[in-house]
Homo-oligomer: A and B are copies of this chain.
């Protein structure tokens, strides 16, 4: 059986003719570094010759229990001999030795996770050859001691500190401060000491091939053995712990393996005409079209990264007469690479005694702002198309851009962790109540509202706070939902915060720390981390560039195959959010939750409706609600003139509007204990009885949604009258084009929808007659329960649209109460690998299957209907793509601050269909 090709050459032969075998497309064969080295060599760029051992070879070695597959070593030997020929030098040659680097290079970048060995090929004889060739004994001995140090540590696991200690000792003896001040003799002496360290710390039992005549471990002099061991070490580093963890976190398969690049060494540390550097072809921080990077004279690459010496900006390279030529060549190479890769490139280079060598290139990582600017500039420069530009900015980056962030340069220490409930970073003084928040902000301070959990009474404080932190509750807790809606950063369920609101202090579990009102904390709501003190923030902005990019994204998403578009609506409950969403590019309101309209001053009214047994009181309350709701809708429809506004009928259980029965029971107990009798106590007891009568075991699955409308038809009557009257008035009196739609929530039985629809249409008809105006108000169903998906064909016959409430659908399909699950077991499930993602953040396959089933049943039964998603998944990039591609929905609706992300994600979904 012939052995598969497992070694690919790159770079020139001795005659200068390129003999490269791979190219940039061979990422999965040669790894990113190897493929791009091959590509650069093909482009005629100055790449030190070498060869790449394939990723598959690594997996073959690992899978056969760290044994070499047959024939592989022969191919490596042949490639090594070939490289010696091409270079006209031999490994270990006592006159003119070839030195090589051995570097890892996986298909996806895994920075710093795997191993590298430099200066391989040196031994006691070849170091003399290096001295002879360079006439620089100090350089040669320094290279040799670096090689022993690196090889011993990387290949054989000898503790790096042992070498550093020897180095320190040698500096002391020599009376110098820096390694660069050590003489060639010092370094020669160090080589001996390093070899002794090697002998004392390597086991010949594990490495019999290293045994010397005395049976001790000797540093291997044979370059072929050095090379084999180094390659094995790089292979092995694919499976080291940090690499495995990194892959898990980044969703990279363990089966890919890493390639190994063996390449002739070039030296940036051969004196003042040598240098080394890293650079981007554009500014990776802000996207400006300028060279961006640093270099160091007389240094090796690791010195640039280590940050020991101060680097010079790359723009200064040409200014140095020594590097004028190399600098000009480098700039021209920047141009070649950018136009070849059609993207910003990240490169490593070395100048050896005036000659430029390219050591690496890849498409450069960039910040969100840079990504947008570069994409737009490249379109204007004619390098890429608008589609490509849109495709190059990830929705995740965009999201980052839209919220303030911790300054990445800031050095932070995490004080506590919680749930990442609403993105963005916040810094402020701790306050423990809504009132304190309002007072502090009025006096010009910035605050973070810290609460056990929030409730509607905290709204004022939440509105003015920089951020909200709670010790309890999950991602759909009141705090989380409201915060996301307002675009305010929020961390929930910070369990280590033991809050005593009365004493205005927080104890931090597991520490002696007690924080008081006024102490400053910072937190990052996207990561769920809390930091003591003020962390510097980077601020968000909606730039002209972003507008341009999103406009291009809109062109793409609205122009799908068969004229099908993918639309973006907003979840907004008030004219302010609606206006904000319009400025963010929302096309319509996909979900207007009316329950938020019953909070604040209006809570009293809905309470008297719920609690009174007196019909007159109840109907007076309804009349009041009708008046304020009509006003609500008048301003919503004005703001959204000519655009759809999907209004959902009242959804939450009514007891959510009532006082907490436990608090009431406690205050009754206190009253009783105080010996109080009389009116007040009787009233409290009677109130408690009524509230208890409304209590539910599992409110999420209780008397809410359409069930409320059927049990208390007064409520939908009032709400629909408010909607229809507002629309009729605007149409008749202001000549506007109001477009309300009414959505019935939580339907599971077809007849629920049918009976409520009858009520709705009765009211609309009445209002039409009263105002003498014809109204066209579609009535649709919120599909958010498994049964609704199963009978979607039946419901569709009576509905004008479906909108999927994927939050509740996820809850019921999984049997997870989101609040409880995110606070108690989802984190553990993610940790144990039971779940790959939190299904409340990214739509689950099975939940998507239900959505998809409902859409196809619906389309078959009622082809005229439209389909949307208004759960929080409607703002998640991956979910958005899947809704469009796998479930065939027409639009997503998300919170105002996620509208730009949704527009971009929708465009990406459309691009993937092309």
Contact = CB atoms under 8 A, between A and B. Distances in A.
17 contacts: A666-B666, A669-B673, A696-B817, A696-B824, A697-B819, A698-B699, A700-B817, A702-B817, A703-B824, A748-B814, A749-B829, A751-B833, A785-B813, A786-B812, A787-B815, A790-B813, A812-B812
Interface string A717-747: 0000000000000000000000000000010
Contacts of A913: none
Most B CB contacts (10 A, CB to CB) among A696, A752, A812 go to A812
Contact of A674 (B673, B749, B828): B673
A667 B670 CA distance: 10
A816 interface: yes
A812 B813 CA distance: 7
Contact of A785 (B784, B791, B815): B815
Nearest to A662: B662
A813 B811 CA distance: 11
Contact of A698 (B755, B785, B819): B819
A205 interface: no
Contacts of A710: 825, 828-829, 832, 834
Contacts of A784: 815
A760 B696 CA distance: 36
A337 to B, nearest CB: 44
A698 B817 contact: yes
A353 to B, nearest CB: 58
Contacts of A749: 814, 829, 834-835
Q: Pick from A669, A670, A850 the residue with the most CB of B within 10 Å.
A: A669
A849 interface: yes
A849 B673 contact: no
Contacts of A669: 666-667, 669-670, 673
B662 A711 contact: no
Interface in A674-722: 674, 696-703, 707, 710-711
The 8 residue pairs across chains A and B that have the minimum distance between CB atoms: A673-B673, A698-B817, A701-B817, A702-B820, A785-B815, A790-B846, A669-B669, A698-B698
A882 B816 CA distance: 28
A829 B665 CA distance: 33
A808 interface: yes
Contacts of A673: 669-670, 673-674
A824 B701 CA distance: 12
B746 A711 contact: no
Contacts of A158: none
Nearest to A452: B692
Given A666-B665, A698-B698, A710-B828, A785 B808 contact: no
Given A790-B849, A820-B696, A701 B815 contact: yes
Contacts of A813: 748, 785-787, 790, 812
Contacts of A821: 701-702
A536 interface: no
A699 B790 CA distance: 25
A155 B791 CA distance: 46
Interface in A818-852: 819-821, 824-825, 828-829, 832-835, 844, 846-847, 849-850
Contacts of A698: 698-701, 817, 819-820
B790 A755 contact: no
Contacts of A661: 662
A815 B746 contact: yes
Interface of A is mostly: helix
Contacts of A819: 696-698
A873 to B, nearest CB: 16
B828 A711 contact: yes
**Centre residue among A751, A813, A850 by max chain B CB count within 10 A:** A813
Contacts of A696: 817, 819-820, 824
Nearest to A667: B669
A791 B845 CA distance: 10
Contacts of A834: 710, 749, 751-752, 755
Interface string A797-816: 00000000000100111111
Contacts of A665: 662, 665-666
Nearest to A689: B498
Contacts of A846: 786-787, 790-791
A796 to B, nearest CB: 15
Contacts of A668: 666
Nearest to A747: B815
B702 A824 contact: yes
Nearest to A847: B787
A220 B482 CA distance: 78
A740 to B, nearest CB: 26
Nearest to A756: B834
A673 B671 CA distance: 9
A698 B704 CA distance: 14
A711 B850 CA distance: 28
Nearest to A826: B707
Given A696-B820, A749-B834, 17 more contacts: A665-B666, A667-B669, A673-B673, A698-B699, A698-B701, A698-B817, A699-B817, A700-B817, A701-B816, A702-B820, A707-B825, A748-B816, A755-B832, A787-B846, A790-B849, A791-B846, A812-B813
A701 B702 contact: no
B707 A850 contact: no
Interface in A643-669: 661-662, 665-669
A791 B699 CA distance: 27
A636 B231 CA distance: 62
A447 B816 CA distance: 41
A818 to B, nearest CB: 9
A817 B835 CA distance: 26
Contacts of A785: 813-815
A278 to B, nearest CB: 42
Contact of A815 (B667, B748, B828, B833): B748
A498 to B, nearest CB: 9
A840 to B, nearest CB: 13
A746 B825 CA distance: 14
A371 B673 CA distance: 64
Interface in A846-881: 846-847, 849-850
B703 A700 contact: no
Contacts of A833: 751
A828 B816 CA distance: 27
A850 B791 CA distance: 12
Contacts of A699: 697-698, 817, 820
